Amino acid sequence: MFDWWKGADRTARRSLVAASLGWMLDSFDVMLYALVLVAVRQDLGMDASTAGSLQSLTLVASAVGGLLFGVLADKWGRTRALMLSVLLYSVFTAACGFAQTVAQLAVFRIFLGLGMGGEWASGAALVSETWPAEHRGKALGFMQSSWAIGYALAAVVNWIVQDLAGLDWRAVFFVGVLPALYAFWVRRHVEEPVLWMQERVKPSRVSLREAMAGPMLRVTVAVTLMNACTMFAWWGLNSWIPSYLRAGADAGGIGLSNATMNWFIIVMQIGMWFGYVSFGYISDRAGRRRTYVSYLVLASGLVLAYASTPTPWMLLLLGPVVAFFGTGYFSGFGAVTAELYPTSVRATAQGITYNVGRIASAAAPWLVGGMAQSRGYPAALSITAIAYLLAAVFWLAIPETKNRTLS
């Protein structure tokens, strides 16, 4: 099962570890907000719409960060851009703990978002360019699966800090500065990909316009819109699941305690992790398109089932399955975009297609939050099922890229 790991050299394995740790810590820092949102709203006097707007603001900033760091990764190198992005989101996660007003929290979340967006563009290019084509999907699947680990780790830290230690939500954010230490390991132990180094010595002179426009314009638009729909669905769902589980019945929620909610989230991440990893194996064998569409269609139906089930034990059982199909497809995006665009502009192209989609998806936390306030959580969460289906439709214009050799 893990023969593919032995089929890569030390540089590839270290690149995968570096990108995976970066993505895990990215998830850890970013998702702390959703986990402490109930306490933050009470302390700072925010309604659901404002709280959702702050998460949307973070996503817009992450889109800008993804575009910026994609360019930096092509010019300065994958590892340098990765290290800088980690430092940025770590410092400003801790800064969120010092916020005394909604405006201050918004500023800190903007800078956190810049670093968050930059990590994916750098890490995905790093892994794509160091792993052989037949194992690229698996490697990116394992990289992407670290998001689930980071989310679960955030829930554990939230439980330890608030429930066991008796500290408030500010202390939870202070823990978020620890990933900064990881950046120094990257600087010392992770090399730049040979493909990128060769590109610096002998540039191919393929412009971004040549790579993304002309015959590729239709594909580029479809990839971007597909990603926008998947990200709208994911952020609309996951930004509000913790609040849905914690809110009382009078607010359309389930009414779980903070500790119980954290364990529900941890169990969901188990399903999410297997979804990420399985996608890599299946897509390397069955193809990117078929696997992507299957996950998206199943996710749509499962979200509807989850949103209409008020029984806690049923939600506990459904949660991992929803997370499996409703998140696992993200493992394929890095592989598909790496296989579509050349080395000279790969990180920039990945940053654009990923983060323009993220800008569009930034409306999801605000829209779902506003609808949760006016129509209740079940109706609000059901919106995301439509987005999953639309994403599957856009795949009609995206070619199969399985086993393509990177140029």
Is 0.85 surpassed by the pTM of this model?
no
DSSP code at position 248: -
Q: Which CATH class is domain 3-397?
A: mainly alpha
Q: State how far the Cα of 33 lies from the Cα of 26, in Å rounded to an integer.
A: 12
Whether residue 113 contacts residue 60, with contact meaning beta carbons closer than 8 Å, is answered with yes
Whether residue 291 contacts residue 392, with contact meaning beta carbons closer than 8 Å, is answered with no
Q: State how far the Cα of 271 lies from the Cα of 266, in Å rounded to an integer.
A: 9
pLDDT at residue 299 in the model: 95
Q: State how far the Cα of 10 lies from the Cα of 49, in Å rounded to an integer.
A: 48
First to last CA, the chain: 28
Mean pLDDT by 10 residues, the chain (407 residues): 71 85 81 84 86 84 83 80 84 91 93 83 80 80 85 88 88 84 72 73 64 78 92 87 82 82 89 88 87 95 89 91 92 81 76 79 81 81 91 91 71
Q: Where are the domains positioned within the chain?
A: 3-397
Q: Which of 242, 264, 263 is nearest to 253 (CA)?
A: 242
Question: Kindly report the CA angle at 228 between 361 and 348, in degrees rounded to 5?
Answer: 105
Q: State how far the Cα of 204 lies from the Cα of 249, in Å rounded to an integer.
A: 60
pLDDT at residue 34 in the model: 81
pLDDT at residue 202 in the model: 64
Structure tokens at 118: 């930059």
Q: State how far the Cα of 158 lies from the Cα of 174, in Å rounded to an integer.
A: 11
pLDDT at residue 406 in the model: 66
Structure tokens at 12: 């590839």
Whether residue 95 contacts residue 113, with contact meaning beta carbons closer than 8 Å, is answered with no
